[in-house]
Amino acid sequence: MLSSDGRKGLVIVITGHGKGKTTAAFGQAMRAVGHGLRVQVIQFLKKVESGEVRAASRLEGLTVKQFGTGDFVDLDQPEPREFEMARLGLEAARKAVEDPQTDMVILDEINTALCCRLLPLPDILFLINNRRPGLHLILTGRDAPVEIIELADTVSEIVEIKHHHSRGDTARKGIEY
């Protein structure tokens, strides 16, 4: 899909079981905003005012919308309200992808939402295949479906080698949130 300058909008997948998928996506958003691009982040399964959400609220050209319950999600048995939040997130994602004022859309934790069947994969494949020309689309979350990986231009896997949580450390402000 080509933009007005003739360049293809990219599909980037950041997946894996290591820490840093959302952090990497927000780093990409910061880079884009620094170059004058407009970025919308749609967060699935999240409802917390993390450091990146606070920082985004101070930046022109970067918006974050969260679609989570604020509770821990049992990925094997999601609650009905989690399905509803995911549906609302998908609606927001569709609007973001269609918005001519947006240059990049980040669907944070979309792969996780797909993994626990909160959303149907065909809807996300349709979104990817029918995005506006030139729009960059970043999808994060563990266990990215092979169908999405095949459509992507770039796929990065974050692998956990060592994590301080394994020592019993709790989450730290500025590091995990």
pLDDT in tens, 68-89: 988 888 878 889 999 999 999 9
Distance of CA 163 to CAs 24, 105, 108, 156, Å?
Answer: 17, 29, 21, 19
Chain center to CA of 132: 18
**CA 172 centroid distance within chain:** 22
Question: Does residue 138 sit within a domain?
Answer: yes
Q: Is residue 66 part of a domain?
A: yes
User: Is residue 89 assigned to a domain?
Assistant: yes
- Run of H or E residues at 55: helix 51-56
170 occurs within a structural domain: no
**Partners of 140 in beta bridges:** 14
- Identify the residue whose tokens are 């609220």: 57
Q: Measure the CA–CA gap between 145 and 131, rounded to whole angstroms.
A: 19
Q: What is the pLDDT of residues 20-42, one digit of tens each?
A: 999 999 999 999 999 999 999 99
Asked if the structure places residue 128 within a domain, the reply is: yes
Does 175 map to a domain? no
Check residue 52 and give its pLDDT.
86
6 found inside a domain: no
What is the structure's pLDDT at 171? 79
State the CATH number of the domain containing residue 95.
3.40.50.300
pLDDT tens across 40-69, in order?
999 999 888 888 888 888 899 999 999 998
Please say whether the beta carbons of 45 and 112 come within 8 A.
yes
- Looking at the domain assignment, is residue 90 inside a domain? yes
Instruction: Tally the domains of the chain.
Output: 1
One-letter amino acid for residue 147 of the chain: E
| Residue 28 domain boundaries | 11-162
